[in-house]
């Protein structure tokens, strides 16, 4: 469990390549997560907040996003100007919003998918 989210991790046990299960930029991983959530939702009748991670891809992605968000927060603090980040999916935006809130700044998502992005402001 991570907060209220069930976390499923697939790790290497034997010498094997899990890269095909992650795919380019995590596309296959995202599809596997969507299918797993759909199956869980159909079984339970409730929306699933399950998260699938393969070979630590999501953990690495989250760490990189946190560092990028911290850099954007520092820029917003230094310049007092809004900082717009690159387009992101909902998972990525949530990571950024959490970092921004922890730093005491304000963030909001702007735009429409697939170009929805986080904008960070000092107030």
All structural domains of the chain, each given as residue ranges with its CATH number in brackets, are 7-55 (no CATH), 59-121 (3.30.1370.50)
* Confidence check: pLDDT of 11 > 90: no
Say what the pLDDT of residue 105 is.
98
Range from 2-11, 52-61, 69-78 carrying the lowest mean pLDDT? 2-11
Report pLDDT digits (tens) over 66-96.
999 999 999 999 999 999 999 998 889 999 9
Q: Distance (Å, rounded) from C-alpha 112 to C-alpha 75? A: 24
SS3 readout for 41-92: HHHHCCCCCCEEEECCHHHHHHHHHHHHHHHHHHHHHHHCCCEECCCCCHHH
Q: Which residues contact 18 (CB under 8 A, 6 or more apart)?
A: 10, 12, 54, 55
The pLDDT-based confidence of 1 (bands split at 50, 70, 90) is very low
User: Mean pLDDT of all residues in the chain?
Assistant: 88
Q: Distance (Å, rounded) from C-alpha 28 to C-alpha 25? A: 8
């Amino acid at each position: 469990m991570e907060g209220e989210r069930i976390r499923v991790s697939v790790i290497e046990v034997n010498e094997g390549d899990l890269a095909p299960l992650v795919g380019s930029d995590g596309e296959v991983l995202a599809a596997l997560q969507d299918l797993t959530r759909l199956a869980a939702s159909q079984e339970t009748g409730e929306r699933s907040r399950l998260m699938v991670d393969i070979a630590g891809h999501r953990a690495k992605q989250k760490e990189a996003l946190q560092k990028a968000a911290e850099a954007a927060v520092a820029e917003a603090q230094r310049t007092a100007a809004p900082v717009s980040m690159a387009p992101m999916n909902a998972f990525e935006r949530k990571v950024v919003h959490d970092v921004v809130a922890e730093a005491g700044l304000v963030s909001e998502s702007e735009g429409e998918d697939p170009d929805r992005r986080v904008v960070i402001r000092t107030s």
